Amino acid sequence: MINIKKEHYVDTIIYSVDRIIKGLKIELKNKLETLNIGITGEQFIVLDTICGTENIYQQQLSEIIMKDKSNTNRILKILEQKGLITKEYGNVKNRLVYFLKVTDEGRKIVEDNMPQIKQFITEIFKNIDNSEIEILHKLSRKFQADLSEVNNL
């Protein structure tokens, strides 16, 4: 059982994780802006997620990137207007959906910039070794499972 008798919110694991995530998002956004690729960090993340997930549709994408449907739709419209993604209509569980596909131009943006992003991430985590990263992944999965269990109560 976890010790939840901390005196203040800033002493909790929730606060620590939140600070890490917010800091990482800010740094990643700043890095993507320095690459000057013509899309925002948020748009790059969506583009990369679509690249890496075959037959993905908007609801799945929203869940993966943890954005509501309207925010996801706004990002997708911009990427579609820029010619970086297309939508192909299909059927999932007897429901009409559109599958998101990355165009050649969109894939080129991801492929051309991913080496710099990976290098940037390596620099951020330079003091954390692979075994610690695996522990972090394991803990993350446990947190997610516990959250899912709480949400299903």
Task: Tell me the pLDDT tens digit for each residue of 87-131.
Answer: 998 888 888 889 999 999 999 999 999 999 889 888 988 999 989
Residue 21 forms part of a structural domain: yes
Residue 3 forms part of a structural domain: no
Residues sharing a CB contact under 8 Å with residue 75, sequence separation 6 or more, in sequence order:
42, 43, 46, 67
Residue 2 forms part of a structural domain: no
Q: Are 103 and 86 in contact (CB under 8 A)?
A: yes
pLDDT band at 5 (very low <50, low <70, confident <90, very high): low
Region label for 34, one of left (φ > 0), alpha (ψ between -120 and 50) or beta (otherwise): alpha
What CA–CA distance (Å, rounded) separates 60 from 147? 18
The domain tally of the chain equals: 1
Q: Is the pLDDT score of 146 beyond 70?
A: yes
What CA–CA distance (Å, rounded) separates 35 from 73? 25
Residue 153's pLDDT is what? 64
Tokens coding 10? 């800033």
Instruction: Give me the mean pLDDT over the 15-22 stretch.
Output: 89
Q: Is the pLDDT score of 2 beyond 60?
A: no
Alpha-helix runs per DSSP H in the chain: 13-35, 41-51, 58-65, 69-81, 104-124, 130-151
- Name the DSSP class of 7: S
Residue 1 forms part of a structural domain: no
Q: Which domain holds residue 35?
A: 9-151
User: Residue 111 belongs to a domain with what CATH number?
Assistant: 1.10.10.10
Instruction: Give me the mean pLDDT over the 17-38 stretch.
Output: 87
Residue 74's pLDDT is what? 97
Residue 29's pLDDT is what? 82
Residue 46 forms part of a structural domain: yes
Cα 128 to chain centroid distance, Å, stands at: 21
Residue 95 forms part of a structural domain: yes
